Structure 1
């Protein structure tokens, strides 16, 4: 078995990465896929352990998203830098876009971010990701295709001293007839799934699905997987395949069409 989250810091290469796929009726997005820090930020004053922690990314989510998109045969967008540079799933005006402190840890490199620096980070690391998503969805819309958006995140087993019992949570804001079927699919397999847990999608679904999904009226769902389920590469890939099976068997999307 291969353990995930290697000690070596990943090398930053781009503000986002696009994984191609044949299907256009479904799209996977993974905002917090990377903990890479562009060279200009150094280590942001954080220890190696802090840079591997949830404050920097969603551990395991990238490989789950990759495996999910591969199993469905669809494209995926992956964020390319750590959320400590700029959080791709926050509104550009949000006070939480660039955090001077996260999870009880000060982030020295973010303690004195001027409005000019904030705007520079938006232009260099935030807007390229969302502009690319916008352009891709615009092209599909022009062709008469309205894809289902599948967002992948991971969450900590405990928060503020409270255990979070769900191995997986399903977050949504606009009800679709397949939501109960998805919940039932996991429950029938003995998996305790959170319905709008560990976060309530009615209250906060996150910028990516709010902006690209709800504003366009696209069907959407956000999967949150508990991080102790994603410690090994094999676990991450299995979750990706299981999500794809659930999505196909519950009619979230139709079966793939032959070429």
Structure 2
């Protein structure tokens, strides 16, 4: 799309007037590749695969938003066009290769094209999420920021036994509290900082939008074979909603005791 100005892609915000404290974020909600990027040279199967999005994550996030009376913000385009959980200077923001797949449309992307995508997708997203959080803070409703992701059961040929991962960045309090609640209230194989951790540069959203304000935050990873259907997504949301509530209540108790 050299020489062609990209359309602007705004984040999708659902339940903006929700009364709950939680803001749910789903950066990899969509596998949509707008026409102006010509499918990035990918096949239909590749565009449906995990490299293009987090299958099942949006369905779980919507189920959680209903059960927690939370606001949900999610991405309008595929993470292969721009990964909204990556900073503009990171190679993974517009990857030339993802897992075992080459991404032809990103292979020789120029600085001008990177800027165009950043302006078209990342900046509207960042401003939208920032404004959502800042408005809540201004109203005296300091939010809890929780991002929702899914991951593949097999990665580079290796099976992953973990089913539910809770990842933290600088502040581990909420993640640890959620993990403890998951161990007590579910049968999920739940682990801390698995299958990824902040060392893998997967906590960009938390670092930019939660940490500077001192907001409680966590990143959730759900194995995608457990949420492959709408029914499974609803069941997972039903399982995790009380877990998240317990985690939030626990850190509130800790804050009062300190």
Query: Where on the TM-score scale, by shorter chain, does this alignment land: which range?
Result: 0.7 to 0.9
CA pair 94-202 structure 1, distance change in 2 beyond 3 A = closer
1:15 is the counterpart of 2:10? yes
CA pair 62-13 structure 1, distance change in 2 beyond 3 A = farther
Do the aligned partners of 2:8 and 2:120 also contact (CA within 8 Å) in 1?
no
**Structure having the larger proportion of residues in helix:** 2
- Work out which of the residue numbers 179, 185, 191 in structure 2 matches 1:183: 179
Match of 1:243? 240
SS at match of 1:76: strand
What is the distance in 2 between the residues matched to 1:90 and 1:143? 29
SS at match of 1:44: helix
SS at match of 1:58: coil
CA pair 220-181 structure 1, distance change in 2 beyond 3 A = closer
Cα RMSD for the two superposed structures: 2.0
Do the aligned partners of 1:172 and 1:202 also contact (CA within 8 Å) in 2?
no
Do the aligned partners of 1:183 and 1:195 also contact (CA within 8 Å) in 2?
yes
Number of residue pairs aligned between Structure 1 and Structure 2: 242
How high is the TM-score relative to the length of structure 1? 0.87
Shift of 1:93: 1.3
Q: Deviations over 1:54-87 (max 9, x none)?
A: 1100111011111111111111100010001011
Do the aligned partners of 2:20 and 2:69 also contact (CA within 8 Å) in 1?
no
What is the distance in 2 between the residues matched to 1:218 and 1:202? 20
CA pair 112-252 structure 1, distance change in 2 beyond 3 A = farther
Do the aligned partners of 2:24 and 2:71 also contact (CA within 8 Å) in 1?
yes
Shift of 1:125: 1.0
What is the distance in 2 between the residues matched to 1:167 and 1:46? 29
1:163 is the counterpart of 2:159? yes
Match of 2:49? 53
Structure 1 residues without counterparts, runs of 5 or longer: 1-11, 255-259
What is the distance in 2 between the residues matched to 1:240 and 1:54? 20
